[in-house]
Structure 1
């Protein structure tokens, strides 16, 4: 049997290979990552015209896309980084509905000059992140084009027969809670752009690390609304509040004094206090989870209370975000442009 990872003979680049050979690389990577994976509801996996899985609960679906030059650069990220980032972004949206990620299908456009060894690394990065999310890659499509594009679709469900937590459920009096450490990805991008390529923040820009189990945990604890922070805390919180018809008031004293961000500000010659605040409030691509919980209810481990939901007023309408009682202009990460706005 031919080992798809053996490049001692045969084609070396996309231009010299066939679609079947590229698909075989991804299938092999998915199979390797799935070894020892708990039993799933998968009926038909890779190798047929489509995957088939059994569903006994609501199915949650989300798709994402990352484009070379907009969301990543090859001189900044390894092929494994690129594959992992694509899967993480799609899978995070499933967790943000309170669901468990199950399956990933991924469409790719690759450049003809790519080495097949790099394709193998990209496939391994994607399959490994899918495994970390509790999912497996079960299909996709591939073509070639002028730059690398990955468009994964994530599918999930509810182990206990629950239902999705929506953006529209936050109510006045609810407690706001946030997981993760916001701002590190944005700081990492600035550091890389300034020539400082190595470090914790830089690694988190290249590959976000969503805490997938915290989505279902929030749902089980009665979260009234839930989203992941991809466009910056202010922008995503404003979207949640606008959909729910409420106002949010963030308490900055609850934010972690993040040494990684303070060090980044020093390296970049910025005032640490203002730089850290701006990164934490507007930096995107962290993929922490932001939830609202009924007042007085238990907040699951992994979240920290960060504010409260309030009634709209004549001065502050739905979608307004206050920071320590003062309304803030909504700004954040524009994923369509790949930049802060």
Structure 2
């Protein structure tokens, strides 16, 4: 991702600034990003004790958090990429309910030695990603601490009155599984960066994912029975959907795109192509593609690819089980509580 902000020549740090000055940096970045934005239902925006917006449908809310040293490193990512990543993670959850993200509020803890020029870049990256999602940043909170932490909340709604969220628990035996995006690229990017290969498509997508935000509402309108975004790994997130729905899944990996980006990553890292790509596909997280189930016979919307079917639990394979190419597979992926792959 190209750093979208013009760096200020100012050398002031957060410690040498005031809260009001930092809030103004974020307010200005949000204002620039929202220039020409379609009319919204915002009643009260930045600058008051709270924002106010009108809603004519159910409101969908989700919060996320990214922490320096756990989710990103400043030596790997620009401030703009870090801001964009935080917004993308929260906004993707709104899409995963079949809704459209409208507004973002973001709380952050800055380090006192952080340069104001970097704060401005972070604010710009966050505001531009919000704009890409069709949303606006309308407020938040600021404090300081030992590391950089961003905790955005995304707020969304539905385009049509009476529309309902697509939940994890709606998949039924016979439904078709479908996946959007190209799974595994973010995980491959992390391995490449960790090995000293800083530049490339996969690395950029690890640092700042690019969700297709409109696909959630497209899946809902097409009749999706269940929907989630792939953040902790395809196996783990699919297993969670199956557990919530009381079903099992048969995943067909032959449907996955032969992704040159992953093949090249495996070659660069000196890994066996087949096993490395399969592992990235199945356990790599943070691609923020969408995983949906559709009743049999549904026309799957553009942007999704059928990748399996939903089945009844059996005595051998209980609810939540995933069979990969006909074989049971141990469920593994990213565990946020443990802070590692399981």
TM-score higher than 0.5: yes
**Paired residue for 1:166?**
167
C-alpha spacing 1:6/1:210, structure 2 compared with 1 (3 Å):
closer
- SS of residue paired to 1:154: strand
The separation in 2 between residues aligned to 1:325 and 1:8, in whole angstroms, is 59
Matched, 1:175 2:176: yes
* SS of residue in 2 equivalent to 1:279: helix
Q: 1: CA distance between counterparts of 2:108 and 2:54?
A: 26
> So what's the TM-score if we normalise by structure 1?
0.97
**Any idea what the Cα deviations from partners look like across 1:10-46, whole Å, max 9, x if unmatched?**
x711010000000000000000000000000100000
CA deviations over 1:179-200 (Å, ceiling 9, x no partner): 0000000000000000001000
| 1:335 CA drift (Å) | 3.2
Q: Contact between 1:71 and 1:338, CA under 8 Å: does it hold in 2? A: no
1:302 and 2:311 matched: no
Aligned partner of 1:48 in structure 2 is 48
Please name the residue that 2:289 is paired with: 288
Contact 1:251–1:323 at 8 Å: present in 2 too?
yes
1:145 is matched with which residue? 145
Note the C-alpha offset of 1:338: 4.3
Q: What residue ranges of structure 2 are gaps of 5+ in the alignment?
A: 1-5
What CA RMSD, in Å, does the superposition of the two structures yield over aligned residues?
Answer: 1.1
Equivalence map 1:180-329=2 (5 Å) = 180-329=181-330
Partner of 2:107: 107
Q: For 2:257 and 2:7, how far apart are their aligned partners in 1? A: 47
Preserved contact between residue 7 and residue 117 of structure 2 (Cα < 8 Å): no
Distance in 2 between the 1:231 and 1:321 partners?
A: 15
Aligned residues: 336
1:171·1:309 contact (CA, 8 Å) conserved in 2? Answer: yes
**What are the Cα deviations for residues 92-137 of structure 1, in whole angstroms up to 9, with x where unaligned?**
0000000000000000000010000000000000000000000000
Give distance in 2, aligned partners of 1:62 and 1:250: 28
CA distance in 2, matches of 1:18, 1:181: 43
- 1:340 CA drift (Å): 2.1
1:66 has 2:66 as partner? yes
SS in 2 for 1:330: coil
The offset of 1:333, in angstroms, is 1.7
> Contact between 1:283 and 1:340, CA under 8 Å: does it hold in 2?
no
**Using the alignment, how far apart are the partners of 1:232 and 1:7 within structure 2?**
38
Distance 1:274 1:41, change over 3 A: same
Other-structure match for 1:120: 120
| TM-aligned CA deviation for residue 334 of structure 1 | 2.3
**Do the aligned residues in 2 keep the contact of 1:165 with 1:226 (CA within 8 Å)?**
yes
Deviations 1:32-88 (A, max 9, x none): 000000000100000100000001100000000000000000000000000000000
TM-score, normalised relative to structure 2: 0.97
Asked whether the equivalents of residues 167 and 226 of structure 1 are also in contact (C-alpha less than 8 Å), the reply is yes
CA–CA separation in structure 2 for the residues paired with 1:333 and 1:61: 23
Which ranges in structure 1 are unaligned for 5 or more consecutive residues? Answer: none
**SS of 2:76's equivalent?**
coil
Are residues 71 and 207 of structure 1, via their aligned partners in 2, closer, same or farther at CA, if it must alter by over 3 Å? same
C-alpha distance after superposition, 1:294-326 (max 9, x if no partner): 001100000000000000000010000001111
